[in-house]
Amino acid sequence: MNSGKTIFSQLMEFLPIHEFRKCVAQYNGNYKVKSFTCWDQFLCMAFAQLTYRESLRDIQACLRGTRYKLYHMGIRGNVSRNTLANANKIRDWRIYSDFAQVLIRKARRLYAKESFGVKLDQTVYALDSTTIDLCLSLFPWALFRKRKGAVKLHTLLDLRGSIPTVVIITHGRIHDVTILDRLIIEAGAIYIMDRGYLDLTRLYAIHQASGFFVIQAKRNFNFRRLYSYTIDKSTGIQCDQTIVPQNFYAQKNYPEKLRRIRYLDATTNKRLVFLTNNFTLPAKTIAELYRCRWHVELFFKWIKQHLRIKSFYGTSKNAIKTQICIAISIYVLVAIVKKELKLDQSLYTILQVLSVTLFEKEPILQVLTNNDYMNPNPAPSNQLNLFE
């Protein structure tokens, strides 16, 4: 890396700018734009995410305070609160959503061989959602409760590297299970879900697409046992059965056999019942897979604590989606930097270091590691000493 560049510029060099230009061209994002382009908007929003800015006025004050360094950061346009607010409001959020998918594909290739706790060759996904509360008077489109607004962030997380592969943003009244209709099922992949996604019609669609699911059963789920397998109760498995739904409509919605596994968690002393269409994996592996579902909960907790997705810089639907998509891009970018630079630090540590060193002009690898790449002792010269 060129030590004459700021840390922010070196970080942005990990982004494929040519792919960003393709996304902008697809949605005509720079139409009638004279100075403050979509790339300038992305850089300003990325700066806000990396440095935890609270508001548009906060972003403007910080960037104008370092206006002599903006050109070296890649920002060519004048940073103004009104200009940035207008850009977030009118420029199509799908530009930044598509660019986030470009980064996601790159990150998944880097983390393809990453371990997540269970030795499997298949791709394993965890599906869940998180709710972000909003003020209904300021966000009237974000329907949730009678006097409360919210948006939902539905995420399909690849457990190898905890990379969000699909992110769908809806208002709070959308039920989680309907998101299954919008997913493209990958043949051979395993989808882990909680009992809120238990819908036999949609689960059968996953089965027909040659995908596998592991889902927690509801207490009132009626079934008829066909066969019980031999188990080792010392592993926590209490039963491993082949079943079929008992009700008429349930049999119609899922006309195939299911596998039912009951597991006793020794640490919490809770009994969990899982349903799956995978009859080849050991019952213990199925239970361990469901335990890995908590990776998506940790992902939601991480981005809420360390990125700006709980307080927003605009009130329109387009501004909210733009900010969330750029926040996801920054999360994936930090994951890419961690892998390409072969860093041992956690994403949290990398993000904290970047937040206070963005304007420094040092090699980014030196800043993110404890190694000192500067040579304190210059090479000895062959020049003779005049006073010896």
Query: Tell me: the pLDDT tens digits for 54-81?
Result: 899 999 998 888 777 787 777 877 788 9
Look at 197-206, 261-270, 328-337 and tell me which has the smallest mean pLDDT.
261-270
Shared domain for 256 and 328, answered yes or no, is: no
Instruction: Give residue 203's pLDDT.
Output: 96
- Which structure tokens are listed for 273? 């019942």
Mean predicted lDDT score pLDDT of the chain = 90
Is the same domain home to 321 and 254?
A: no
Residue 288 has pLDDT above 80, yes or no: yes
The predicted model scores a pTM of 0.89
Which residues does residue 131 pair with via DSSP β-bridges, in sequence order?
152
Residue 1 lies in a domain: no
Q: State the average pLDDT over residues 271-280.
A: 95
Q: Is the domain of 275 the same as that of 328?
A: no
Can you tell me the distance from the alpha carbon of 269 to that of 281, in angstroms, rounded to the nearest whole number?
A: 24
Q: Which tokens is 245 given?
A: 């739904």
Q: Which of 284, 304, 335 is the last residue of a domain?
A: 284
Residues 27 and 85 in one domain: yes
Would you state the pLDDT for residue 372?
52
For residues 17-30, give the mean pLDDT.
95
- Whether 221 maps to a domain, the answer reads yes
Q: Which pair of structure tokens corresponds to residue 184?
A: 């493209």
CA dist., res. 275 & res. 48, Å (int): 43
For CA atoms 55, 56, 57, 59, give the dihedral sign: positive
Count of CB atoms situated within 10 Å of the CB of 356 = 12
Average pLDDT of span 311-315:
91
Helices and strands (H, E) in the chain, number of each type:
14, 9
What does the pLDDT average to over 119-134?
A: 93
With 60 as the cut, is the pLDDT of residue 379 above it? no
Contact 148, 136 (CB under 8 A): yes
Q: How crowded is residue 107: how many other Cβ atoms within 10 Å of its Cβ?
A: 26
| Residue-number span of the structural domain to which 63 is assigned | 7-95+313-368
Q: To 5 degrees, how large is the angle CA 304–CA 50–CA 8? A: 160
Residues 72, 16 share a domain: yes
Residue 116 lies in a domain: no
The pLDDT value recorded for residue 26 is 96
**Is the residue at 167 inside a domain?**
no
Do the Cβ atoms of 308 and 80 come closer than 8 Å? Answer: no
Q: What is the pLDDT of residue 152?
A: 96
In the predicted structure, residue 34 carries a pLDDT above the cut 90:
no
**Residues 199, 245 within the same domain:** yes
CA 253/CA 202 separation, integer angstroms: 9
- Whole-number Cα distances in Å, 48 to 59, 86, 361: 6, 16, 19
Nearest residue to 340 (alpha-carbon basis) of 6, 13, 118: 13
Supply the pLDDT for residue 387. Answer: 40
Residue 169 has pLDDT above 80, yes or no: yes
Q: What pLDDT score was predicted for residue 378? A: 44
Whether 31 is covered by a domain: the verdict is yes
Could you give the CA distance from residue 364 to residue 111 in angstroms, rounded to a whole number? 21
Give 312's pLDDT tier (boundaries 50, 70, 90).
Answer: very high
In single-letter form, the type of residue at position 115 comes to S
For residue 292, tell me if it sits in a domain. Answer: no
CB 59 within 8 Å of CB 53: yes
Residue 137 lies in a domain: no
Contacts of 68 (CB under 8 A, 6+ apart): none
Residues 260 and 326 in one domain: no
Domain count, the chain: 2
Contact 49, 347 (CB under 8 A): no
Contacts made by residues 344-353, CB under 8 angstroms, sequence distance 24+:
345/369, 347/302, 348/302, 348/306, 351/50, 351/306
Last residue of a domain, one of 284, 303, 333: 284
Q: Given 284, 302, 324, which residue is the final one in a domain?
A: 284
The rounded distance, in Å, linking the Cα atoms of 234 and 268 is 16
Per DSSP, 315 falls in state: -
In this model, does residue 123 exceed pLDDT 90? Answer: yes
**Single-letter code of the amino acid located at 137:** S
For strand 190-193 and strand 212-216, is the pairing parallel, antiparallel, or unpaired? Answer: parallel
With respect to residue 374, please indicate whether it lies within any of the assigned structural domains.
no
Q: Mean per-residue pLDDT for 149-162?
A: 95
